[in-house]
Amino acid sequence: MLNPLCSLARNPDGSLVRPTPYEINSAYSAGLALAAGAVLLLGVVLAIVHLRRSSSPLTIGCVAISGLSMALHPLWTVDTRSGDCGSMQVLFSFIVLGIVTTAVSVQLILFLLARGGRWTAECRDYDDHFLPPAHH
């Protein structure tokens, strides 16, 4: 048996010990979902700011990956009442948080490179590479 069934602890009177492992893992997964949502919000703000400067398909892709990851977040797609007491839900919540954080980190790197590189509008005013070819 890969995942033994989760046996819930009971009080001497037969009632369940609170909080149960299900409740603990569900609350833990909810906290991870909130953290991933906050990172996704930062990613959306970065995408809006970045898209105002230049459109980048990679930036849109990062937001799409983050949004899809949140849409499939285990908090609302994996049941905690399975045989592992919700441990799989917590594990996949960490994975989603990692995916969203990586995507937003890529966005941040793209944003910083676009700000400091030769792609800025101010650079075009002073760089001869952007001058139209001279006609003789």
pLDDT for 1: 38
Percent of the chain scoring above 70 in pLDDT: 75
How far apart are the C-alpha atoms of 79 and 64, rounded to whole Å? 25
What are the backbone dihedrals phi and psi of residue 107, each rounded to the nearest 5 degrees, phi first? -60, -45
pLDDT 10s digits, 69-109? 999 999 888 877 666 788 888 999 999 999 999 999 998 88
Q: Which of 36-50, 51-65, 91-105 has the lowest mean pLDDT?
A: 51-65
Query: Structural domain boundaries of the chain?
Result: 21-117
Residue of higher predicted confidence among 122 and 103: 103
Residues 119, 49, 56, 104, Cα dihedral to 10°: 120
